Structure 1
Amino acid sequence: MSDAALIRLAARAGLLAEWRDFENRPQTVAPDTLRAVLGAMGLPAGSEGEIADSSARLDARAAVPHFVTGDIHHPSPVALDGLATLTLEDGRAFECDPRQLTIHDCGYHRLRLGAHEIGLAIAPARAPSVPDLTGRDRAWGAAVQLYALRGDAPRGFGDLGQLGAFARAAAAAGADALAVSPAHALFSADPGRYSPYSPSSRDFLNILYADPEADEPAGGDLIDWPEAAAARLAGLRRAYAAFEGDAGFDAFVAEGGAALRGHALFEALDHHFRALGHGSGWQAWPSAYHDPASPAVAEFARAEADAVRFHLFLQWRADRGLARAQAGAKQAGMAIGLISDLAVGLDTGGSHAWSRRGELIAGLTIGAPPDAFQAEGQGWGITGFSPIALEELGFLPYLRTLRTALRHAGGVRIDHALGLGRLWVIPEGARPLDGCYMRYPFEDMMRLLALEAARHRALVIGEDLGVVPEGFRDRLAERHLLGMSILLFERDNAGRFTDPRQWRRASAAMTTTHDLTPVGGWWKGVDIEWRTRLGIGAESAEARAHDRDLFAERARQSGAGDVGGSETAVDAGIALVARSACELAIVPAEDLFGLSEAPNMPGTIDEHPNWRRRYPAPAETLFADPAAERRTTLLREQRS
């Protein structure tokens, strides 16, 4: 069998047989990897006959598209002959020649040619900017880990009521935005799976964040997730027992439709089988329940209707809590309000993978190729959308997820935004090193993102860190989708920190991220201590001392003050970010309040207390601290 034919099929399917690594060295994907990935995409390539059949399937799919995207005031993207009927989203209809069509209305339209109908999404030139949303050239916001919040009442971990309180306190300090860690649905039956970036579904909420009605056992500085979640869930069951129905609840369930009911059914099944000793996730259930359309599942839904209704109630309660938090942020003076966080992928054992399996890439997991920090690459154990399914389904799965992220938010951060263009996919059981890049319909996804952002009057931030393809950031900027400029990464070729006045304007400037040590901890070498203790490779103390000197030099040169210790380093770091040319500056709570430990350490699971650290006090107390007041005053003055 010819490798040339295999490579041609791979290229047509969007796989990169050749790519360049983080040192710009050319790399070639092994034929067996290409065959495995193609097979997982539903394009068998084990023989010349299979390659021919898979190529024919791609031909048929491309002949007459089901859904296309285009730009407002630009020629039609549909190049088909014949007289067609264009029906705009508002119901107006016109006869037209698709080849000579220019549409001046953004939205979701329909084009009918004979018996064939094509969905047509027309996007605005760009998404809303910070000036569009705030009326000012520059603004600032905070970032918060939702689970880490504390309030006046005893809680085991944060909730949406405490998020609202934090948002109001941040607004009073002058913030226009509050970036929030992912609130995606996890596994309420298995609170030991608590990473916010491995969700069961991104289309629904983590019900454990729903506001409790009564006090809970007070948690410590580190969350004991199984114990704290059990207490939260017990309180929510009591609230449901007292629930007598509500018109708002009925409307919410009707609006959510089959997708919401499917998620609630998954949750009820997961609780049921966990209680019987099965593992978490649908693969651990008896095989009769693996198919959501099976008779066994239908019988369970009938017999356990109240259990399913309980999980519908929990989603409604969480949705109301998030709506109140965003409304409170806006009423307190935030021009943007909450910025949600959209994880890049999904747990393979979760609700989405069970109820809508055909939308995802089966038999593949997402990760990252080798880089300077991970020589063997990374396998994240999550899955994502199938690019073929996206096009065949008119991008509905992607749109559903975007709309959930923007439902009660003034913006969204797209985790690993490079995935809008390509993802590193790994065949199940293979090493991360033995993966390949899978292309996604980048222009389509960018247009839809700009369209949904415009409809929701929302800001979009794309995490554009890592091995960034050439031109990717330029394409983000053209659509006014903000990138990210991280203080410790903004350096020249000699390793010196760059002048923040030269940072990209179409970007969100940040002191740190959830995967990095806060500035104070970085100055003290807390991350070096952790990595040394865990034996996972660390920067030398000498190299860090040199970096501290470079940091202090940049602070002096930029007028951010003299740095002589960790506290002055935090002040200088915030001052540098505040002085940046970026439209938006975001300072995580860890830096606003001078904390030293990171929320997460990539490459670890239980060795480091990932996603378990709590803030030391309620929001009102934290913002009243003199150091925090000094930092928020600096941000207000520099960003006004």
Structure 2
Amino acid sequence: MVDDSQAPSEALLRLAAAHGVVPDHWGFHGELRRASAGTLRAVLAALGVDASSPERIDLALAHIDDMPWRRTLPPVVVVRSGRSQDVPVHVTHGDPVHVWLQLDPEVGGGRRDLHQADVYVEPRTVDGRLVGRATFALPDDLPLGWHEIHASGPSGDARAVVVVTPDRLELPAPLQGRRAWGYMAQLYSVRSRRSWGVGDLADLADLGWLAAHEAGADFLLINPLHAAEPAAPLTPSPYLPTTRRFVNPLYVRPEAVPEAAYLTAADRALVEWSAESVTGLNLDAGPIDRDAAWNAKRAALDVIFAHERSAARQAAFDAFVQEQGPGLRTFALWCALAEKYGSETIPPELADPASPAVAVEAALLADRVAFHTWLQWVADEQLGAAQAAARAGGMSIGIMHDLAVGVHPAGADAWSLGDVLARGAEVGAPPDMYNQQGQNWSQPPWRPDALARAAYAPYRDMLRTVLRHAGAIRIDHVLGLFRLWWIPKGAGADEGAYVRYDHEALVGILALEAHRAGAVVIGEDLGTVEPWVRGYLSERGILGTSVLWFENGADGQPLPPEDYRPLVLATVTTHDLPPTAGYLAGEHVAIRERLGLLTEPLAVVRAQADAERERMIGALRARGLVGPDPSEREVVEAMHRYVLATPAVLVGVALADAVGERRAQNQPGTDQEYPNWKVPLADSVGQVVLLDDLFTNARLRSLAAVLRG
């Protein structure tokens, strides 16, 4: 808990504003709420700012004013293509300085000298030194890319990163002037007879090809595939990974690793025995057992890893390691440490990746580090094969990957990224209609200041890995590129404050990396959104998200299809709601009532849900999409026809809706109370639907016919 009894002083409010901390926000009932002084002090502390007393606040305010003058160059400059931008250069007053730009080797390299602009700025005394500011203009014809600005003179040498980003991310040619539709699936839930108890990357390849070839789908949106812990127990939520940069090897299909074909009879038997221990789970309608699946797979993958690779395969592995750089080795080292000690119980003396103690452990664990490095390579190969299969089947986009908001507080990123992640705060959401107590996702947020000092390299590297084999990327809670709800550790979810980010930099870099990958970007922009944000994202070419249940007009009625935004991924539902059949039956109310999550009387909430359903069916009936007494299946298909009547450039269909599933994958605001992210794909009576039988399912084929028109 934080002390919320004291109103913030004017000086504290100024300090908060200087660090991007927003003291006010609008509650979901429309009331203006102000953070307490205790909340602001705690959030500032998580940003490395001491605001514990009036004197400390004054000192911190002075430090903010002087900070830019202490640096020769800003740590990073992000500019849009086609625009000029001034760069301040600070030197001892009167000293000459020469400034030039070294261009990104990926766009041909080269050097461009920069010219000083005729801008006078009064010098300032900082730390006893009179500092002058010279202004240099970046030209407006720089190519897209990651460039480097250099400054040299008697005051010293300095360099910084200059990122030139697209003014707008254009849709790829296949989407110019036409709509694309696709399925949305939780990959772990979609199992085949050959799965190891959990849907995997071989299943993904088959699912992508079949969805295109049999149903005519253009894309397949899947849950985040970010890495979990390297040893049981594995965190079930794909939205609470240990890292967002690397892939969860749980999704590797051991038999699809080429070396598996050349095992000795004895080693092949070991792999087959491992598989036999979990393949029986594929038909189990109960919660998915990730731990059993991973224990079996890890044993098999250990055997395959030990087999000698051909010269070409070894060279490909070496090239992958070289390409991924130190970040891959650091992640693999964390995996080895977490495997040995437990991910949440790594000894304090090993908390610093650069420490001598960690170097000793790295030498001792060299084989395990190599194993976890290899796992990323084989996962990357299988991801590439899945995207190739989806495109070969006829998808215009292919696999659409999902980027989670953040990472586990005791994970690899928290260990390896130093102060780029805040230590004293957790990300969440303030109370809203569906989560009336607020949410705490327990994830450490990016520190905006530290991220800028790192020239956004951790963010860039993360994006590049996710985009390697993607036709599109969905950014979960894209509003987090603008602001995040920071909750001081130990405080309630309603005791936080928003912290702003440099959205121009974050969105620009996202657009740059997507442009290089040829990928579409979709931002999940649901919830309370500042009015200008959606317009800004659309201007930059980032698609939004429209969910039928959430799109209502001023009169409370479902928004007419023609009034939808065109540049969106439009869907009937989302993974944080029960599938549509369940929602129509009021399952979202029943779950929250069972788990004690309601803050209003059950009768009131149930009446609201009944009224919502009747408004929806009334809107469908008014457009002639259903008759007087429609069946559940008819309503579900009519809702998709309603979405198809919108101008949305992308339309998504939940695979769970296609087979009539009723159970929710996730109930926000819960942890152990509900089997979140463990529900296998099943039909309306709870019978498991395997990938092998999916595209002969009558309900799926009927809905696919609706989508194909």
Please state which band the TM-score falls in when normalised by the shorter chain.
over 0.9
CA distance in structure 2 between the partners assigned to 1:263 and 1:69 by the alignment: 28
Unaligned 5+ residue runs, structure 1? 275-279
Alignment of 1:502-541 (within 5 A): 502-537=563-598, 540-541=605-606
How many angstroms apart in 1 are the aligned matches of 2:139 and 2:159? 16
Give the corresponding residue for 1:174: 216
Deviation at 1:238, TM superposition (A): 2.1
In structure 1, the residue matched to 2:360 is 299
SS at match of 1:230: helix
Q: Secondary structure at the match of 2:617?
A: helix
The 1:375/1:152 distance shift into structure 2, 3 A limit, reads closer
- Over 3 Å counting, the alpha-carbon distance change for 1:35 and 1:635 in structure 2 is same
After the TM superposition, which residues 7-156 of structure 1 pair with which residues of structure 2 at under 5 Å, given as runs? Answer: 7-63=13-69, 64-78=73-87, 84-89=99-104, 90-97=108-115, 98-99=136-137, 101-114=139-152, 115-129=157-171, 132-156=173-197
- Aligned residue pairs, count: 629
Is residue 195–residue 203 contact of structure 2 (8 Å, CA) maintained in 1? Answer: no
Q: CA deviation at 1:476?
A: 0.8
344-353 or 227-236, larger mean C-alpha shift: 227-236
Q: Which moved more, 1:106-115 or 1:532-541?
A: 532-541
Deviation at 1:234, TM superposition (A): 1.8
Counterparts in 2 of 1:248-327, with a 5 A limit? 248-274=316-342, 280-281=343-344, 284-327=345-388
CA distance in 1, matches of 2:103, 2:623: 53
1:205 is paired with a residue whose SS is: coil
Specify the alignment match of 2:673 in structure 1. Answer: 607
**Deviates most, 604-613 or 71-80:** 71-80
**Greater Rg, structure 1 or structure 2?**
2
Partner of 1:576: 642
Q: Which piece of structure 1 moves more, 218-227 or 359-368?
A: 218-227
Report the Cα offset of residue 243 of structure 1. Answer: 4.4
Aligned residues with identical type, % of pairs: 37
Q: Distance in 2 between matches of 1:586 and 1:151?
A: 23
Amino acid in structure 1 at the alignment position of 2:250: L
Structure 2 CA distance, aligned partners of 1:625 and 1:375? 38
Greater CA drift, 55-64 or 222-231: 55-64
Q: TM-score normalised to the size of structure 2?
A: 0.85
CA distances 1:445-490 after superposition (whole Å, capped 9, x unpaired): 1111111111111111111111111211111111111111001111
Judge conservation of contact 1:521–1:566 (CA < 8 Å) in 2.
no
In 1, Cα distance between the equivalents of 2:615 and 2:495? 38
Please, what is the CA RMSD of the aligned residues? 2.1
**1:237 is the counterpart of 2:302:** yes
Matched, 1:544 2:553: no
Q: Distance in 1 between matches of 2:76 and 2:233?
A: 39
Distance 1:93 1:286 in 2: 47
Q: In structure 2, the residue corresponding to 1:347 is in which secondary structure? A: coil
Name 1:587's counterpart in structure 2: 653
Counterpart of 2:419?
358
- In the alignment, the residues of structure 2 paired with residue 191 and residue 136 of structure 1 have an alpha-carbon distance, to the nearest angstrom, of 47
**In 2 relative to 1, CA 61–451 (structure 1 residues): closer, same or farther, beyond 3 Å?**
farther
Partner of 2:236: 194
Equivalent in 471, 480, 504 of residue 443 of structure 1: 504
Letter in 2 for 1:572: A
Give the residue type in structure 2 aligned to 1:233. R
CA distance in 1, matches of 2:27, 2:89: 40
Tell me the secondary structure at the aligned position of residue 525 of structure 2: coil
Q: Which residue of 2 is the match for residue 496 of structure 1?
A: 557
Instruction: Give the letter aligned to residue 642 of structure 2.
Output: L
Q: Is the 8 A contact 1:498 1:554 kept in 2?
A: no
Amino acid at match of 2:350: Y
Give the residue type in structure 2 aligned to 1:247. Answer: A
Q: Is the CA contact (8 Å cut-off) linking 1:345 and 1:384 kept in structure 2?
A: yes
SS of the residue 1:185 aligns to: coil
Contact in 1 for aligned 2:227/2:244 (Cα 8 Å): yes
Q: 2:226 aligns with which of 171, 177, 184?
A: 184
Matched to 1:95, the amino acid is D
- Scaled by the length of structure 1, what TM-score is found? 0.94
- Paired residues of 1:510 and 1:587 also in contact (CA < 8 A): yes
1:36/1:635 CA distance change after superposition, 3 Å: same
Letter in 1 for 2:700: A
Deviating more after overlay: 409-418 vs 82-91: 82-91
Taking the aligned partners of 1:533 and 1:443, their CA distance within structure 2 comes to 43
* Distance of 2:622 and 2:515 partners within structure 1: 39
For 1:149 and 1:244, how far apart are their aligned partners in 2?
31
Contact 2:422/2:444, CA 8 A, preserved across alignment: yes
User: What's the secondary structure of 1:434's corresponding residue?
Assistant: coil
1:619 CA drift (Å): 2.9
Per the TM alignment, residue 620 of structure 1 is displaced from its structure 2 partner at its CA by 4.5
Matched, 1:634 2:695: no
Q: Is the 8 A contact 1:70 1:77 kept in 2?
A: no
Report the equivalent of 2:479. 418
Q: 1:295 to 1:625 in 2, by over 3 A?
A: same
Aligned with 2:499: secondary structure? strand
Give the Cα separation in 2 of the matches to 1:100 and 1:240. 50
Aligned to 1:618: 690
Is 1:481 the counterpart of 2:487 in the alignment?
A: no
In structure 2, the partner of 1:277 is: none
SS in 2 for 1:99: strand
Shift of 1:307: 1.3
What is the Cα deviation at residue 46 of structure 1? 1.8
Using a 3 Å threshold, how does the CA distance of structure 1 residues 139 and 196 change in structure 2: closer, same or farther? Answer: same
Gaps of 5+ in 2: 1-6, 91-96, 116-135, 256-271, 682-687
Matches of 1:287 and 1:205, distance apart in 2:
26
